[in-house]
Amino acid sequence: MTEGERGTEGGADLHEERLGALLDEAETRARGDAGIDVEAFVDSHADFADELRELLPLALGLRAPLDARETERGRHGRFGPFELVIGVGASALAVGMGTVYLAHDDRLGRDVALKCLRSESANDERFLERFRREARATAQLSHENIVQLLDADEFDGTPYYTMRYVEGTTLEDWLAAAERSGEARRRRGGDSSAGSGASVLARSPAELGFADIAALVRALADAVAHAHDRGILHRDIKPANVMLDPTGRPLILDFGVCRAEGERDLTGTDFVGTLRYSAPEQLNGAADERSAVYGLGLILYELLTLRRVWRGKETSELVLAVRNEEPRRPARIDRAVPPDLETIARKAYAKLPEERYASASALARDLEAFIQGRPIAARPPSALYLVRLFAGRHRGLCATALVSLVALAALGTSYVLDVRAERTRRLAEAYSARVAAAQAALALGETSSALHHLEEAPAELTDWCWRNLRARADQALE
């Protein structure tokens, strides 16, 4: 809009209307899962840049007035003892109930990350207690892969705490940039090596060796285990809550949805976390360390495939996917993915908690074994797991299949009347289980697994059902 247009009454009204709409949009995005990069938002609306730089910090949660001014570091403001960088070269990131700023602590003469409770949350006791709990939880943790808390207090009625300032980018932004650029998905060479030795951020995700990927997720698993050993469970493990510093070291952020042992849940809802990265049991309000392992498994999946899990699915589809679907196997997206690393990932993000690693430490040990070239403890999904997963997705079909399998078991029994009754029963049960597992594996696109179960079925009981499944598996391989 030109100055002349802005000078007219109608033009001024239109300008104010558009500015209000932009502020509303920023607040809506700030409440979303991904938050908002304030500086990027300002840059994308150049006609309103000056006004947005002045108003957004207030709109996104600071109740204290900002004494904004220009310096060589950019546009600054004040919040108690902190000088905030709210403009050129810096961003405020609004996520959930808090807003995080790059700030300078005048008392100690250092830059910090300042997190303040957003104004609309400050009058809600649930959010106040959750914010305080986040500070308490983070204060208990001292690990090289968890951002360190420095201080916690209040200013002018607004709670805040400060953390060590970390330059870098989030894992989500790093992966998203690679996906947008359309980089090749396949990595070169034997990727059990330790990589080039260069910083992770100096390379694109597609250039990482598989040992680099395993080492990155192992570091996160060690950090989750450290927190759990101290009674702290992070319930929102996802790429957006992982920061990569300039050396490529990953650091876990945002313990705002953690839960300490012995503390009641203060969220006011059953579900806690981010739907896309939540374990199935979290949809019912349950969570333990295996739920965090699930989130780590999906991070490993996205690093291996360079694809966002469940991409393109809307909320209703996401719920069904989280409950019943397994992501497409990493090796089907990139054939270079080592079988052991795929097995580790699939065990970590298994739908059933009992099929996952029992702890983040167990996951870290298997990732270390892969890096060192030693045997891993994990094994590919069991036949029982595949059948149960298939049953969750196709309850009606399974009811029909169960009737067929019962009939099949009876047929198998009559076929071997000359064999002792106990052996007959065991053979029929084994045959039925193998055929059911093969059928489930085919439905999930696991052709190799289906062929394995068919080959393991007692040969003397094979009939039309076995032959039909074998023909379907052979056709899928063509």
Catalytic residue among 105, 236, 254, 334: 236
Burial of 469 (0-12, 13-18, 19+ CB in 10 A): buried
* Residue 392 one-letter amino acid: G
Q: 459: which 2 tokens?
A: 């040969």
Mean pLDDT of 7-16: 58
Reply yes or no on whether the pLDDT at 261 is more than 50.
no
**C-beta separation of 149 from 163 below 8 A:** yes
pLDDT in tens, 129-145: 778 877 777 788 889 99
Q: What is the Cα–Cα distance from 137 to 258, expressed in whole angstroms?
A: 8
Total-model pTM: 0.64
Number of H helices, E strands in the chain: 17, 14
Confidence of residue 186 (pLDDT cuts 50, 70, 90): very low
Return the C-alpha torsion angle 47, 51, 52, 53, nearest 10.
120
Can you say how many angstroms the Cα of residue 169 is from the centroid of all Cα atoms in its chain? 16
Q: Which of 36-50, 138-152, 273-287, 365-379 is the most confident on average?
A: 365-379
| Bridge partners of residue 163, in order along the sequence | 113, 149
**C-beta separation of 299 from 239 below 8 A:** yes
Mean pLDDT of 218-247: 91
Contacts of 237 (CB under 8 A, 6+ apart): 220, 224, 252, 277, 292, 295, 296, 299
Ordered DSSP codes for 210-274:
HHHHHHHHHHHHHHHHHHHHTTEE-S--SGGGEEE-TT--EEE---TT-EETTPPP-SSSS--S-
Greater pLDDT, 167 or 262: 167
Q: Across the chain, what does the average pLDDT equal?
A: 75
Q: 414: which 2 tokens?
A: 């009559």
Q: 454: which 2 tokens?
A: 């068919």
DSSP H/E element including 77: strand 74-79
Give 326's DSSP letter.
P
Greater pLDDT, 308 or 463: 308
Measure the CA angle with vertex 151, ends 148 and 152; round to 5°: 120
Longest C-alpha distance within the chain, in Å? 101
CA quadruple 333, 338, 339, 344: dihedral positive or negative?
A: negative
Q: 1: which 2 tokens?
A: 């809009």
Q: How far is CA 280 from CA 202, 242, 299, 385, in A?
A: 35, 21, 16, 15
pLDDT for 324: 84
pLDDT in tens, 302-338: 999 998 898 777 777 888 888 888 899 999 899 999 9
Of residues 352, 353, 340, 332, the one with CA closest to residue 380? 340
Cβ contacts of 63-66, under 8 Å, gap ≥ 24: 63/119, 63/122, 63/156, 63/157, 63/158, 64/155, 64/156, 64/158
Confidence of residue 194 (pLDDT cuts 50, 70, 90): very low
236 is catalytic: yes
